[in-house]
Amino acid sequence: MSDPIEKNQQILLIDDDELILKVINRILSREGYDVKTATNGKDAMELIEMQKFDLLITDIMMPYSNGFEVISKFKQHPNAEGVPIIVISSVGTENAVREGLNIGADDYLRKPIMPDELLIRVRRFFK
């Protein structure tokens, strides 16, 4: 475990792959982050209605509402003000990266996720 940063930051993690959710949740939880998970955009928006998050991490390809739709809806929500967004996806084309950044994502990570890279990018938003 690394040096403690001010923890208890609320992170919403959205991915339809249960294994990826568990792995990323474990990585972030071990570092002291409070992680809530959703397997689709609909469930994610319900969580966003209930509480404010400090960081949103979302996949792109998901049922009900893809990551781009989630980002667009989230950006319009009052709880989204000042909240950074990291997109994670196996879709690593330049167009997908550009679209994610253009609609409001602050960072883009390609799957498979490397734990150290994930933590470096997450910590960057909590300095």
Tens digits of residue pLDDT in 87-113:
998 876 678 778 888 889 999 998 899
Share of the chain above pLDDT 90, in %: 62
Is the torsion defined by CA of 18, 99, 103, 87 positive or negative?
positive
Percent of the chain topping pLDDT 70: 93
- The tens digit of pLDDT for each residue in 108-121 reads 998 899 999 999 99
Report pLDDT for 92.
64
CB 58 within 8 A of CB 107: no
- Specify the CATH class of 10-124 in words: alpha beta
pLDDT, greater one: 64 or 33 = 33
Minimal CA–CA distance to 2: which of 116, 112, 125?
116
* 115-124 helix and 18-30 helix, angle to the nearest 10 degrees: 60
User: The pTM is what?
Assistant: 0.90
Other CB atoms closer than 10 Å to residue 90's CB: what's the count?
A: 13
Region 29-44: what's the mean pLDDT? 94
SS3 state of residue 20: helix
Contacts of 111 (CB under 8 A, 6+ apart): 20, 88, 89, 90
**pLDDT (average), residues 61-84:** 88
Q: Determine which helix (DSSP H) or strand (DSSP E) holds 77, and give its type and residue range.
A: none
Helix spans in 51-105 (H) = 67-75, 94-102
In this predicted structure, the answer to whether residue 124 has a pLDDT above a threshold of 70 is: yes
